[in-house]
Amino acid sequence: MTITIPFELDRAHRRVLIGGEPMLFHCHHYNTFLQRSIQDASYIESRPYLIGAAAEVAYAQLVRLFQSEGADDVNRRNELASELYRWAGFGTVDLSAIGESGGRVESKSSHYARAWSEKFGSSDEPVCLFPSGWIAGAAAAIHGKPLGSYSVQHTSCAAQPGKDTCLFEVQAGEANYDVFESVGAGEVGEHEQRPRPENNIDEEGIYEALTAMEIAGDKDGIIPAFGVYLTRHYANYYNRISFETLRAMEAAFGPDGYDATRPLFVEAGHVCAFNTFGGIMTSPEWNALIRPTCKTDADWVHGMVACVNTLGWGRWNVEELSPTEAVFSIQDDYESVGYRAMYGTPERPISFLAEGAAAGIMNLVYRGEVMSSPEFTPEYYDHLFRQTDVFRAEPAGQSVAMGDKATTIRVTRG
Amino acid sequence: MNGKQVTAVRTLDCAHKLRVRYLLPRPLDRELLESLGPGELRVQAFSLKVQGARDHLALIDEERNLRAAGVDGEGLLTVTFGKLGREAHEGVVADFESLLVQLLGVPIALRE
């Protein structure tokens, strides 16, 4: 039986909701780099929320989906949940092994394990923390129990030497991870037209063209697209793990904690931009849809922003643009929407991924000559982000998280 | 386009899988791409959505872990052999290139 994953395309806010959870695209580079960056801060106990945040989103989403799709029995719920996991690009997982008291789950294909192995080599420890939590949350939803009703042990991982399957032992009982209540879609504002320099890019046409593409997991639950490997992931997962880390750092080190954390997450944004945006701008899809209409270097920036608007990150715009400087504005950026819903109003801007991504666009176009289809090597990364005259981003005075209508980011060179 | 050969430029994708850019002696079209199957042909009719855009063609072969894509009417075919966590099957590259040569009637020249 074919299962269609129902999703709601929110055009006004440039995002997608599935089972009430905002979902967005990120690549395997970002997923693994972010997790490792958080885990590298070994003085913070991150494992409980790296797993708990996944249980949070899986549970909330599946409970709503089961209700909306009329999935009343365990078999149907298992099928829908397993299919969602594959479709979203997380890999494959057989949830039918989980009974009311628990069970052993096998995953023969894992985005996280594959990505980790590829990017960092083999791991001594299992790395599939997101899948661990997702499975625990799914188990509770499938069996009609409250979130946190199952513990999960990730006992074996395909990222470990000699292993090709990930194993998870799920057991009914007290959760061995942090339990959060999902904030769901959060609150978004009324879209307003923002200024934009004249350009040759048909942003609306690109949005309609790309959102009509089927970008879904293959039989292995892997999404090869635009030269990278994507997941249709959870905004609230990224937000929870990022901001729990930020808050832990602030609790430990005061304001210095913010200053220490921001560069890590901005760097993750650089990694994302380098790989995902670089992949997009050198892809056959770009060559067909956008490149033919690019007449200037600035058009490449506007074209890339048009693509960003299909990722589910919020509504991006370029308000000022020159070869040496740009101002980006984002309405309802997913970091701000999530932070406000989860934690209220921050004291300082928290749109770190957006900062890194904005700087990445400018570095790719104006320093990296991405138009010449370069090879995305570590040396090229260093050239784009680690020289003295690179573009760097900083908050430009407005933040949705802090109550403004848009988040503004200024990117300057040198 | 060089009417006398296919020029192949070998690189790696971001998961270190072989990616080859084939500069074709004639424009890519649906018939040519489909002939390089088996696999599923996917057509994104971007020209209908954005003025000036071209259509995107892709051949997805999950059995052989091969993806071939290009712009309808242009001379570049990009093929990725393998994917994240999966190598291409042995012999797939040779088989693919052999078929390409047969269909186009010209040899493949590897450009370093």
The tokens for A334 are 């997913």
Nearest Cα of chain B lies from the Cα of A394 at a distance, in angstroms, of 28
CB atoms A118 and B15 under 8 Å: yes
Task: Decide if A3 is inside a domain.
Answer: no
Pair A126, A156: CB distance under 8 Å? yes
Given A154, A172, A190, which residue is the final one in a domain? A172
Predicted confidence (pLDDT) at residue A2 exceeds the cutoff of 80: no
Indicate the residue of A220, A222, A289 with minimum beta-carbon distance to B56.
A289
CB atoms B76 and A227 under 8 Å: no
Q: What is the pLDDT of residues A87-118, one digit of tens each?
A: 999 999 999 999 999 999 999 999 999 999 99
In a shared domain, residues A262 and A351? yes
Q: Please enumerate, as own/partner, the contacts of B34-43 that have beta carbons within 8 Å and a separation of 24 or more.
A: B34/B59, B35/B99, B35/B103, B36/B68, B36/B96, B36/B99, B36/B100, B36/B103, B37/B61, B38/B63, B38/B64, B39/B63, B39/B64, B39/B66, B39/B68, B43/B72
- A110 forms beta bridges with A91
In a shared domain, residues A100 and A221? no
- Listed residue (A124, A112, A142, A119) closest to A50, CA to CA: A112
pLDDT given for residue B86 in this prediction: 80
In a shared domain, residues A164 and A220? no
Could you please report the per-residue DSSP string of A139-168?
Answer: HHHHTT--TT-EEEEEEE-TTSTT---EEE
| Burial (0-12, 13-18, 19+ Cβ within 10 Å), B89 | middle
Distance CA A77, CA A54 (A): 18
Predicted confidence (pLDDT) at residue B17 exceeds the cutoff of 90: no
Q: Measured between beta carbons, which residues in chain A are less than 8 angstroms from residue B67?
A: 224
Predicted confidence (pLDDT) at residue B96 exceeds the cutoff of 80: yes
In a shared domain, residues A146 and A224? no
Distance CA A35, CA A41 (A): 10
Distance CA A341, CA A61 (A): 16
In a shared domain, residues A237 and A337? yes
In a shared domain, residues A54 and A112? yes
In a shared domain, residues A362 and A232? yes
For residues B27-42, give the mean pLDDT: 95
Domain residues for the domain of A303 are 203-413
- Listed residue (A106, A130, A128, A105) closest to A52, CA to CA: A130
For residues A356-365, give the mean pLDDT: 98
Indicate the residue of A109, A158, A227 with minimum beta-carbon distance to B13.
A227
> From the candidates A199, A229, A276, which should be mutated to test the interface with B, based on the most B CB atoms within 10 A?
A229
Predicted confidence (pLDDT) at residue A42 exceeds the cutoff of 90: no
ipTM of the assembly?
0.94
Sign of CA dihedral A64, A67, A72, A76: negative
Task: Decide if A188 is inside a domain.
Answer: no
In a shared domain, residues A223 and A152? no
Q: B47 to chain A: nearest residue by CA?
A: A289
- Listed residue (A27, A50, A26, A28) closest to A38, CA to CA: A50
Distance CA B62, CA A90 (A): 17
- Tokens 């380098």 locate to A274
In a shared domain, residues A164 and A230? no
In a shared domain, residues A154 and A221? no
B43 shares contact with chain A (CB less than 8 Å): no
> From the candidates B12, B46, B60, which should be mutated to test the interface with A, based on the most A CB atoms within 10 A?
B46
Predicted confidence (pLDDT) at residue A86 exceeds the cutoff of 80: yes
User: Could you tell me which residues come within 8 angstroms of residue B78 by beta carbon, excluding any fewer than 6 positions away?
Assistant: A284, B19, B20, B21, B22, B68, B69, B70
Q: What is the pLDDT of residues A246-258, one digit of tens each?
A: 999 999 999 999 9
In a shared domain, residues A270 and A381? yes
Task: Decide if A10 is inside a domain.
Answer: no
Pair B24, B77: CB distance under 8 Å? yes
pLDDT given for residue A1 in this prediction: 60
Number of separate domains in chain A: 2
Task: Decide if A113 is inside a domain.
Answer: yes
- Listed residue (A325, A308, A329, A326) closest to A317, CA to CA: A329
Task: Decide if A197 is inside a domain.
Answer: no
Indicate the residue of B13, B15, B46 with minimum beta-carbon distance to A288.
B46
Indicate the residue of A29, A275, A288 with minimum beta-carbon distance to B54.
A288
Task: Decide if A185 is inside a domain.
Answer: no
- B7 forms beta bridges with B23, B109
Residue A170 banded pLDDT, cuts 50, 70, 90 = very high
pLDDT given for residue B14 in this prediction: 81
Pair B41, B58: CB distance under 8 Å? yes
Distance CA A84, CA A40 (A): 30
Q: In the 8-state DSSP scheme, what is residue A365?
A: I
Pair A399, A384: CB distance under 8 Å? no
Nearest Cα of chain B lies from the Cα of A218 at a distance, in angstroms, of 8
Provide the mean pLDDT of chain A: 96
In a shared domain, residues A363 and A285? yes
Distance CA A50, CA A44 (A): 12
CATH of the domain at A107: 3.30.1380.20
CB atoms B50 and A228 under 8 Å: no
Which DSSP helix (H) or strand (E) runs through A321? strand A315-322
The tokens for A412 are 């300057």
Which DSSP helix (H) or strand (E) runs through A15? strand A15-18
Q: Measured between beta carbons, which residues in chain A are less than 8 angstroms from residue B80?
A: 224
Pair A222, A111: CB distance under 8 Å? yes
Residue A190 banded pLDDT, cuts 50, 70, 90 = very high
CB atoms A205 and B49 under 8 Å: yes
Distance CA B25, CA B106 (A): 8
Q: What is the pLDDT of residues A369-414, one digit of tens each?
A: 999 999 899 999 999 999 989 999 999 999 999 999 999 999 999 8
The tokens for A168 are 């998870």
B51 shares contact with chain A (CB less than 8 Å): yes
Indicate the residue of B14, B51, B55 with minimum beta-carbon distance to A227.
B14
For residues A4-17, give the mean pLDDT: 95
Residue A291 banded pLDDT, cuts 50, 70, 90 = very high
E-only strand ranges, A126-227: 150-156, 166-172, 223-225
Three-class DSSP category at B71:
strand
Task: Decide if A158 is inside a domain.
Answer: yes
Distance CA A409, CA A313 (A): 15
The phi and psi torsions of B72 (rounded to 5 degrees) equal: -60, 120
Residue B35 banded pLDDT, cuts 50, 70, 90 = very high
Pair A74, A143: CB distance under 8 Å? yes
Task: Decide if A165 is inside a domain.
Answer: yes
The tokens for B34 are 């489909």
